[in-house]
Structure 1
Amino acid sequence: MAATPSLKLESEKYYLLRKPLLPLQTVLDLNEQTRQEPARLGPALLHLFRDEQLQEAIYTASPELYAELHKVLAKGLDPAGKDDRLVATLYKYLIRMSMRCTPYGLFAGCASGELAETTTFDFTGAPPLKQSRLDMNYVNELVKHLLTTTEVKYQLRYFPNNSLYAIADSYRYVEYKVKNKRRHYSITSVRKSSYLEVLLQAAGPGIHFARLVELIQAEEPEATPAEAQAYIEELIDSQLLISELEPTITGAVFFEGLPQKLAGKVAAPVVAQVAEIQQLLEAGGVRNFQQVHQLINTSFGQSSSKDLIQTDLFFRPESNTLKTEVIETVTSQLSELFALANKTNLPDLERFKKDFVERFEDREVPLLLALDSETGVGYGRAEVGRSDHLPLLDGITPRAAAPPKSSEWKKYTQLVHRLFRQAAATGAQAVELTPADLAGLEEKPDLGRHTPASLYAFGSLLASSPAALDAGDFRFALGVCSAPSAANLLGRFCYGDTKLLDNVKASLQRAEPDTEEAVYAEVVHLPEARIGNILMRPHLRTYEIPFLGLSAAPAEHQITVQDLRVSVRQGQLVLRSARLNKRVIPRLSSAHNYTTGLPIYRFLCDLQKHDIYFGVSWYWDNLSSEPFLPRVQYRNIILTKATWHLTLADLQPGEGRKKTLTEAALQQQLVDRKLPRFFCLTDHDNELLIDSHHAVARQLVVQQLEKKGRVTLTEFLATPDNCPLQGPGNTHYTNELLLPLYNGAYMPPGTPARALPLPDVTRSFAPGSEWLYLKLYAGTKTMDRVLTEKIRPLVAQLLAEGVIDKWFFIRYNDPHHHLRVRFHVPVGQESRFAQVVQAVQQALAPELAEGLVHKLQLDTYVRELERYGATNIENSESLFYHDSQAIANVLSLLEGDEGETYRWLLALRGLDELLTDFGLELPAKKQVLQQLSEAFFQEFNGDKSLQVQLNEKYRQESRRIRSFLNPAEDELNGIEDATHEFLVRRRESRGTVAAIQALYPQPLPASAAGFSLLASYVHMYVNRFVLSKSRLHELTLYGLLHKYYTAQAAMEKKTISGPKIVSYAL
């Protein structure tokens, strides 16, 4: 039975506790008092809602409901039942205020706490802090109103739309139009012009309206001031230029700083009115909020009071601590439960990688170009070599990457079905998951390395008291344990709690430190004005990526989308800032569901989940719709609650169904299904506590059934005897915890910085230029024979005649297996291009006629300037030439199945010689091969089984490896002719290697960039040498050579010092 290597999560020393405004007894007592006489519910609710605090809570949630409530409080309830709907609404709101912890207005709030020696909850101190602000939708409308006045418009600074990018003779950018308070986006194209380019360049750091007018007149002297102003206003109206008043969603709350932004730009009374609104919001209370509404209508245009004000509630407890051992218990068990985790399935990202490689190969291109649906690849839409004789790979079968979660019958699904059957057989409402169950799941050898350093657990503590909690007598009802950052759910609460802000920043600095190679960057995007209410957060990271949303970070800490470059390297998506010359790892510190957003927003947010174990939660797989699903527990952790699914058909079986349901029919179903008295009516993350002994509560379920035809009911576990958070008078509060966690074993993606290509180095060579690029499509064996029997002698002839001066080849398998051959004709003799084409066609005529070569394709050669460096590309091409010559000559010496064994042994020898060509001695060779072998081991989901296979392969072949790597035994092995070719390569490439090394102040392996270059040369060497399955050969060859070097080093009697090796993730 395989066991997943342990993941050791650590808890941070703080947490966020969320709780409702009212104790649970508020609704429980109300139910008990009125369940025998449901007609008493209305008067009892009105009595409760005479409380000013509750009235303010209702007003912040719905001013319209507050107005209805006020009328009924004045005149009383209608005896004919006309106010029944109002009573039902107030009842649901009271339930919400008494049991649901999700912060919403004044219904529920939060408070940060710390780990300590004991658990203490004392919320009887200072009254809660109420932080109110204008709804972001109205802030946006207010800014638009201000911009309609010429006085304001002419005083502001303007910036280019931060989605702007250039394509050929046009600019493209994203603009939006608002319909029914929703933004509808479209890509707009505008033709370039000299004065538009001048304006956009000048507007980069921000520019005043008047200066824009001056620039237009300087470019177009005949334009009048009125014409120039009209043109600038058109740019503003079309959103090509964005004003400095565009609301920000990071940093300080935007509206609080608006008076200062407006000072000196608008009339003093306007600034005073905005400041007065802010003062009224800070004071709070229904009367002040009503005055805000009146002031806005008077001064800034009519608005609805609905959704005008947003309020957050922050409790200020006397003490809020949890015993350290309690959280350590939860954290330890969550670590074990990561055996359930899977890597995130991101089909759009995988499709993008595939399309990108087909289109751009190894190039690095601007991100906006790659995501453009016309010029790029957009975003959001039988194995080769199976029959080859590849003796080196005998017995090497890496574990395939785990498929995405599905209903396939695999180990997890088997476990789910077994637990379900177990509960069904016994009638139990709960089943226990065991460590043995977890050990039986698929191995995850990369779990520690690929689980992000920062993550969070979200759930509720269930215990009879703080003392019981500290004694270990508790349960933790897990909502989710998720990545890629603890800030995802904590970020929006940081602006109301400076201590929480400091803690979150410290956590992120610990888990996501910026380095010389990579930086983490916050995605700043405002998809809808109202969504800004949940997207608002302080600056949490040093760098931000603004896209259709303004960042308040300093300009030097903003990474524009125009600055971003993307590439695919060894299957990994790499995002890089050209300005910083560093890898960029995007993060979104928000719970916003981005999946329906714009392509670039989705891409950046998907990228943060790339190749990681995203978290732990229970998934019932293809059983999710069963009528009953039991609770699943693991030690102290409840993974999922007992769940019942109820349909209309359950209450009205047969064909003659009534149009309306009765709560009596529901009551019978609840008895038949053995539901407890208290349960929750659940719709996604919305839960409403139902007391099945109360007719009005049952009617709420009936109404939902009539509306949707199906309801989900879940058990309610936070009963008073399970609430450790207690208040005065033996009251109890439900709770939710956000626990920030840390994984110290995480290995962040690392990539050496890439130098920008120099503009005077030619990147592309179309057919007819100095480089001829041909693709030969054939089977693997045919391709090898064509290389050695046709291309090799043809090249020798062309070189001897001076028709070409260099050439090289590589093997490729995307989308089909083929050989890529590039011929270089001397500069100034491009007329010989046709001669080379004709010579190749004649040489391959028999194979083309017989269909052995089924396609010969002429293509454009695009240099990999980012990979090899603009100043080094010609050196690299020369090295490839000498390498191709040597390998083609060696391969021509091989015959039959025995030749395939010689192929991999000579590949090892040639690789060792290549490292020697670059001046590496044994210690440096050993360190280089260690890094390469480890990188490929990870790529192939390396586990104990694969390690055993590689060890066994070396044990079997170690004698031959030692012999073939010993020049003294070349004659004995009959490989003198082959190894001679490696010596010729060394002699012919000596000047090229010296030129390459001259570009680096230290030996290549001593720097990240130098190691990356050497790794690329080694990779291309192996690609040329092996018949197929190139990357699997690399895994094996690097592993064997590293073991050989390790053995050789152990036999050395003295230490040979080599250059320092810098870590680099392939």
Structure 2
Amino acid sequence: MEKITYGILDKYALRTPLLSCNAEFFKTVSFDDLERLTDNPVFMEALYIASRDFYNTLISFRNTKNKLDPKAYFSILKYFSRMSTRCTPFGLFAGISVGTFTGEESKTVVGQINDFKNHVQLDMNILFSVIQIINQNKEVRKYLQYFPNTSISHYTYTDTLKYIEYKYISGIRNHLLTSIETSDILQAILEKTKDGTPFTSLVEMLVAEGFEEDDSNDFINELIDSQILISELEPYTTGDDILDFILGKIKDIPELHSLYTFLNEIKNTLSAVDTPGKTDNIEKYEQVGTALHSTEIKMVDDKNLFQSNLNTNLIQNTLSASLKKDLMAGVKILNKLGKKTSNPSLDQFKNTFYTRFQDQEVPILEVLDSDTGIPYGMSQNKTESPLLKGLHFKMDRNANGASPQDGIANSFLYKLSETYLSGSYSIHINDEDLKQLSDTWDDLPKTMSVSTEIYEKDQKPVIHISGCMGSSAANLLMRFSNSNKDVYDLCSEIIDKEDQYLNDQVVFAEITHLPESRVGNILLRPALRKYEIPYLAKSNIDPSCQISLDDLYVRLIEDRIVLKSKKLNKYVIPMLTNAHNYTNPFLLSIYRFLCDIQYQNTRMFLNFDWGALSRSFVFYPRIEYKNIIISKACWYLKPNLITRFKDKENLADELKKWRSEIKMPAEMVLVEADNKLYFNLENPVYQNLFIDILQKKRDLVLEEYLYSEYNSIVKNEKGEDYCNEFIFSLCQKQ
């Protein structure tokens, strides 16, 4: 057994829904109750931000009292369940706060909703549309600085310069690989603009070379229009609030005075809707929406005008330090049970790289060139359409590279069969069981997030760790850092600790890339790392700390891919400190390659799953160790189940009989990827919703709802339970 070299930081994040998990309401909720929710200002505001179309449907119903479509009742119920039982922050449905471990007893008390703070801003699609308008205005360019496109590659053995430009088609950012012939003057311009150069200085440079001023203006404009040169107003993913950034840049540009005034008024209006449920909040949203529609700003998707993050207010937010022992016990178990995975894309790349280059150090842009380089993330016998160069297609594997044959320890198969024979609901494991399994700590990231729910039974804690994840413990938190100072401080602490693990020959560098405009809503985060690798997105840090792609070289050392910056003369570990799912095969291969490197020879996840046994049975029991729930009980339902419930008159009785057969409690949760939806199958409304979903879905996965058995450690002042998700930071000890 290896010595445990990790511990839990004193600060943690707590994610909670907007509303308490009112068990009595869910048990008795009726269609009349759902109609009354349309008079709840907090519910309606949350709905307005999430779905203005459905909000307008309910307003029409409230004003006319026309009968609602039956499906509308289901939607109301889904939204209300979301803001009562699911902790993942989204709009006003759930929010975040930061707490601290203390030596005393745990006290986590949620305050009044009118003390919560909602940080509302324009959707990134709109902000980037504003940036497009400014950048396309040739009268404004004389006030701006310009930089080379961060994807430019130029090899000494060719006169061709390659780069990626993007175009917005129906609001979607599409990337296109472009090739042009280079020239001495173009190379001189690219060299001059490395750290940013004003438009006027570039024109003066050409005039000094003997070109006419009008021709010089036209040439620089052509370079900008073709995206060889990029303005300082290019969208970014690391930095402060983008609207503030735009306002700061255009404040002193006379031609944009009216735009500045307009945007500043919007900023002030949105600043005034910071308290959920205020009577005039929706009126202010409407004012902003009306104003936006009266401008030239392209409203490609006017259903998504706003993006918001909710900061919850906890009167007390402390946990007993004694809980750390339980948490580390849970992490240790997951470490033993977690699968060892590989990344086929990286493995294939290493093999091909060695065949072609052996131990040479090769520019990354040459290695991953879409014409002559190594295809990344796809079989090499696949061909690419010229329009899709640089885009790779999905391989037959899951996101973390696990094989379908990966399984759990043989002992769990035996315990599962024991459960079926005895009719038990849970598998209890003990220290003797765990002794048979080894654990390793040297293949984990330096920090990871530990996602945990904490319950109480007989005033004693019960914890469920759903998993440890991420290349950094800051990944799940970073997008909230710009709107929550406490989260910002926690992320800063995590990143400072990560830097301490490095020697002076290695640096972490943040990957800054914008795949698509609306993704910017979750990608935008503070620039907390010293170094960045900008790729088709602007970097706001000092140019001396920006590592351009043409400065990065790839080498294979002892079966490990290493990147080196020639400028810094240091090895570089790329980091993507956010929760973006970069494994989408239609994202650019360089981006996916850099992101994969951060997980090289480390495990992305520590979690329990049933491996090859998954979906082989209907019922999978809960797995417990002392006061730690390792895995919730779950059920896999097949499409033909719907035939059992054709008799609507006896639906309640048939559901009850069916649940008894498969040991399913009345309260449970439907799981679809990251989405979860609460059900109470003793309630007629939920029963009908369940049947409606069962008719549409081929397969359903359900898991138990532990708040029906345990109390939550998080409550409000009235003593009502709140669903909770604690995000703890697992850090390697120095």
The question of a shared fold, defined as TM-score above 0.5 by the shorter chain, is answered with yes
Which residue is 2:549 aligned to? 561
- Counterpart of 1:15 (choices 12, 16, 24) is 12
Measured in 1, the distance between the counterparts of 2:457 and 2:431 equals 27
Q: Kindly indicate whether the alpha-carbon contact (under 8 Å) linking 1:337 and 1:438 is maintained by their aligned counterparts in 2.
A: no
Alpha-carbon distance in structure 2 between the residues aligned to 1:234 and 1:662? 72
- Work out the CA distance in 1 between the residues paired with 2:356 and 2:372: 10
Compare relative contact order (CA 8 Å, sep 6+) and give the higher one, 1 or 2: 2
Aligned to 2:284: 288
**Residue aligned with 1:449, SS:** coil
**Relative to 1, partners in 2 of residues 1:464 and 1:261: Cα closer, same or farther, differing over 3 Å?**
farther
What root-mean-square deviation, in Å, do the aligned CA atoms of Structure 1 and Structure 2 show? 2.4
**TM-fit CA distance, 1:259:** 1.0
Q: How does 1:152-167 map to 2 (within 5 A)?
A: 152-167=140-155
Matches within 5 A, 1:657-668: 668=657
* Deviation at residue 413 of structure 1 after TM alignment: 4.1
Whole-Å separation in 2 of the counterparts to 1:666 and 1:180: 46
The answer on whether the counterparts of 2:330 and 2:630 sit within 8 Å (CA) in structure 1 is: no
Q: How far 1:729 moved relative to its partner?
A: 2.9
Contact 1:7/1:336 (<8 A) preserved: no
Does structure 2 conserve the Cα–Cα contact (< 8 Å) formed by 1:587 and 1:608? Answer: yes
Q: 2:420 aligns with which of 424, 435, 442?
A: 424
Instruction: Please give the alpha-carbon distance, in whole angstroms, between the structure 1 residues aligned to 2:531 and 2:568.
Output: 11
Call closer, same or farther: CA 1:272–1:404 in 2, change over 3 Å: closer
Which residue pairs with 1:99 in the alignment?
A: 85
Equivalent in the alignment of 1:114: 100
The amino acid of 1:355's aligned partner reads T
Secondary structure of the 1:732 match is: coil
Runs (5+) with no aligned partner, structure 2: 274-280, 379-399
Aligned residue for 2:230, secondary structure, equals strand
Secondary structure of the 1:638 match is strand
SS of corresponding position for 1:268: helix
Aligned counterpart in structure 2 of residue 618 of structure 1, from 602, 608, 612: 608
Aligned partner of 1:631 among 622, 632, 637:
622
**d(CA) in 2 for partners of 1:90, 1:531:** 27
Distance 2:631 2:330 in 1: 15
SS in structure 2 at match of 1:652: helix
What's the offset of the Cα at 1:658?
7.8
- The SS at the match of 2:509 is strand
Change in Cα spacing, 1:12 to 1:685, as seen in structure 2 (3 Å) is same
Give the one of 476, 480, 495 matched to 2:482: 495
Deviates more, 1:426-435 or 1:587-596: 426-435
Tell me, yes or no, if the aligned pair for 1:8 and 1:332 is still in contact at 8 Å.
Answer: no
Distance 1:31 1:498, change over 3 A: closer
The structure 2 residue matched to 1:479, chosen from 466, 476, 483, is 466
Structure 2 partner of 1:435: 431
1:600 is displaced (CA, Å) by 1.0
Residues 359 and 377, structure 1, Cα contact 8 Å, conserved in 2: no
Pair 1:61 & 2:50 matched = yes
Deviation at 1:104, TM superposition (A): 0.6
Letter in 1 for 2:433: D
Letter in 1 for 2:267: Q
- 1:504 aligned to 2:491? yes
Tell me the equivalent position of 2:41. Answer: 52
Letter in 1 for 2:21: L
How big is each residue's C-alpha offset from its partner over 1:965-1006, in whole Å with a ceiling of 9 and x where there is no partner?
xxxxxxxxxxxxxxxxxxxxxxxxxxxxxxxxxxxxxxxxxx
**Is this contact kept in 2: 1:460–1:737, CA < 8 A?**
yes
Query: Using a 3 Å threshold, how does the CA distance of structure 1 residues 90 and 404 change in structure 2: closer, same or farther?
Result: closer
- Out of 252, 257, 263, the residue aligned to residue 268 of structure 1 is 257
2:132 maps to 144
- Residues 348/33 of structure 1: CA separation in 2 closer, same or farther (3 Å cut): closer
- Residue 134 of structure 1 is matched in structure 2 by 122
Structure-2 residue corresponding to 1:951? none
How far is 1:591 from its partner? 1.0
Q: Cα–Cα, structure 1 residues 33 and 347, in superposed 2: closer, same or farther, change >3 Å?
A: closer
Structure 1 residue 366 displacement after superposition: 1.0
TM-score by length of 1: 0.63
Query: Is the CA contact 1:114–1:322 (under 8 Å) kept in the aligned structure 2?
Result: yes
Q: Which amino acid is the alignment partner of residue 475 of structure 1?
A: V
Return the letter of the residue paired with 1:573. I
- TM-score norm. by structure 2 comes to 0.90
Letter in 2 for 1:17: L
Structure 1 CA distance, aligned partners of 2:520 and 2:196? 23
The aligned runs of 1:910-949 (5 Å cut-off) are none
1:244 and 2:232 are equivalent in the alignment: yes
- The answer for the alignment partner of 2:539 in structure 1 is 551
What residue number does 1:366 align with?
A: 363
Letter in 1 for 2:609: Y
SS at match of 2:521: helix
* Aligned-pair CA distance for 1:477: 1.6
Are 1:736 and 2:725 counterparts?
yes
- Counting only pairs closer than 5 Å after superposition, residues 868-907 of structure 1 correspond to structure 2 as none
Distance 1:495 1:297 in 2: 27
Q: What amino acid is aligned across from residue 30 of structure 1 in structure 2? A: F
- Whether the 8 Å CA contact 1:169–1:191 is kept in 2: the answer is yes
> Which residue of 184, 191, 197 maps to 2:181?
191
CA contact 1:106–1:312 (8 Å) conserved in 2: yes
Give distance in 2, aligned partners of 1:556 and 1:629: 55
1:669 equivalent to 2:658? Answer: yes
1:648 aligns with 2:639: yes
What is the Cα deviation at residue 215 of structure 1? 3.5
Shift of 1:322: 0.4
C-alpha spacing 1:568/1:32, structure 2 compared with 1 (3 Å) = closer
- Correspondence for 1:852: none
Write the distance in 1 (CA, Å) between the matches of 2:264 and 2:650: 54
Contact kept in structure 2, 1:259 and 1:272, CA below 8 Å: no
Q: Give the counterpart letter for 2:15 in structure 1.
A: R
Question: In the TM superposition, what whole-angstrom CA distance separates every residue of 1:908-932 from its partner, at most 9, and x where no partner exists?
Answer: xxxxxxxxxxxxxxxxxxxxxxxxx
Match of 2:373 in 1: 376
Deviation at residue 272 of structure 1 after TM alignment:
1.1
Counting only pairs closer than 5 Å after superposition, residues 747-896 of structure 1 correspond to structure 2 as: none
**Would the alpha carbon gap of residues 263 and 409 (structure 1) be closer, same or farther in structure 2, given more than 3 Å must change?**
closer
1:160–1:405 Cα change, 3 Å: closer
- Using a 3 Å threshold, how does the CA distance of structure 1 residues 637 and 182 change in structure 2: closer, same or farther? farther
Question: In the aligned structure 2, how far is the partner of 1:662 from the partner of 1:373?
Answer: 61
Residue 463 of structure 1: aligned partner: 456
Deviations 1:99-157 (A, max 9, x none): 11110101110100000122112222670111011111111112112333332234222
- Contact 1:95/1:688 (8 A) holds in 2: yes
1:452 equivalent in structure 2: 445
Output the amino acid matched with 1:642: A
Distance 1:564 1:662 in 2: 68
Q: 1:199 to 1:719 in 2, by over 3 A?
A: same
Quote the Cα distance in structure 1 between the aligned partners of 2:583 and 2:194: 30
- 637 and 190 in structure 1: CA distance in 2 versus 1, 3 angstrom threshold: farther
**What is the DSSP-based 3-state SS (H/G/I as helix, E as strand, rest coil) of the residue aligned with 2:140?**
helix
- The total of aligned residue pairs comes to 695
Q: Are the counterparts in 1 of residues 636 and 702 from structure 2 also a CA contact under 8 Å?
A: yes
Tell me, in whole angstroms, the C-alpha distance in 2 between the residues paired with 1:717 and 1:183.
42
In the TM superposition, what is the alpha-carbon distance from 1:218 to its structure 2 partner? 4.4
Q: Determine if contact 1:340/1:438 at 8 Å carries over to the other structure.
A: no
1:358-377 Cα offsets, whole Å, 9 max, x none, are 11111111111111133322
Deviation at 1:405, TM superposition (A): 4.7
- SS of equivalent to 2:46: helix
Contact 1:250 1:538 in 2 (8 A): yes
Q: Which moved more, 1:89-98 or 1:337-346?
A: 337-346
Q: 1:658 to 1:179 in 2, by over 3 A?
A: farther
Secondary structure at 2:164 match in 1: strand
CA separation of 1:479/1:193 partners in 2, compared to 1, >3 Å: closer, same or farther? Answer: same
Q: Structure 2 vs 1, CA of residues 363 and 699 (structure 1 numbering), >3 Å: closer, same or farther?
A: same
State the match for 1:837 in structure 2.
Answer: none
Residue deviations 1:531-557, cap 9 Å, x none?
Answer: 111111112211111111112111122
Larger radius of gyration: 1
CA distance in 2: counterparts of 1:418 and 1:311, whole angstroms: 48
- SS class of match (2:322): helix
Letter in 1 for 2:377: G
Corresponding residue for 1:981? none
